[in-house]
Chain A
Amino acid sequence: GESVGLHLPTLSVQEGDNSIINCAYSNSASDYFIWYKQESGKGPQFIIDIRSNMDKRQGQRVTVLLNKTVKHLSLQIAATQPGDSAVYFCAENTGGAGSYQLTFGKGTKLSVIP
């Protein structure tokens, strides 16, 4: 799910399947990461976050995995539903210690096939 060229990368999944959206982040010093969901005409909506001292965190139907060695973040959505169709963004805190500045990835569009 990394951005290439001018178009958002798209992931199409069948309803009921699991989805995995990937993100490569830029700063090895980033200490906090967030996944957001953006539906058409809406603002980014918080899904799940993870701190750099963890490698996995689970929410309701969602799991975030953090691999600091390769600077990779993934979002797993279990039993994907039509309402999960949206653009998903990862964001990292690039502000440094005691500071807070989110840098967003380029987004992945998830399309759920009913």
Chain B
Amino acid sequence: DTAVSQTPKYLVTQMGNDKSIKCEQNLGHDTMYWYKQDSKKFLKIMFSYNNKELIINETVPNRFSPKSPDKAHLNLHINSLELGDSAVYFCASSPRTGGGQPQHFGDGTRLSIL
């Protein structure tokens, strides 16, 4: 009974393709996030959604489009993939937008662009 689950775990694709990563949480949390972790292990927030509404959108190319069909799901669609998109992408969730509660992370999707 995984709390935050992402699919796929590995994604290998060609430059220029479009791909999606799915995320689901069964914790009943209101807020979900996408992070990017680069090869140096640096973790950076990309997006945050609260009850299907976008609340954080960091400086991310608009080739990246998050979609939240309901508060338990936050998917990430990436158009026209580039070499620099290679990274591990983590989904996370937390009970609410206000600070004071830890975020719970999935195990990541390793995206490799050929």
User: Which residues in chain A, 9-43, are within 8 Å of chain B measured between CB atoms?
Assistant: 31-32, 34, 36, 38, 41-43
| Number of residues on chain A facing chain B (CB within 8 A) | 28
Most buried by A among B94, B96, B101: B101
For B96, list chain A residues within 8 Å (CB).
100
Which residues of chain A have a CB within 8 Å of any CB of chain B? 6, 8, 31-32, 34, 36, 38, 41-46, 49, 51, 87, 89, 93, 95, 98-104, 106-107
Most buried by B among A38, A102, A103, A104: A102
Which residues of chain B have a CB within 8 Å of any CB of chain A? 4, 31, 40-45, 48, 56, 90, 92, 94, 96-108
* A89 touching B43, Cβ below 8 Å: yes
How far in angstroms is the closest Cβ of chain A from B72? 17
A-B residue pair count with CB separations less than 8 angstroms: 64
* A31 touching B99, Cβ below 8 Å: yes
Pick from A43, A101, A106: contact of B48, CB under 8 Å: A101
Q: How far is the CA of A110 from the CA of B107 in the complex (A)?
A: 20
**Can you list 17 pairs linking A and B with CB atoms under 8 Å apart?**
A8-B40, A8-B41, A31-B99, A32-B99, A41-B107, A41-B108, A43-B106, A44-B90, A46-B103, A51-B100, A93-B100, A95-B99, A99-B98, A101-B45, A106-B40, A107-B41, A107-B42
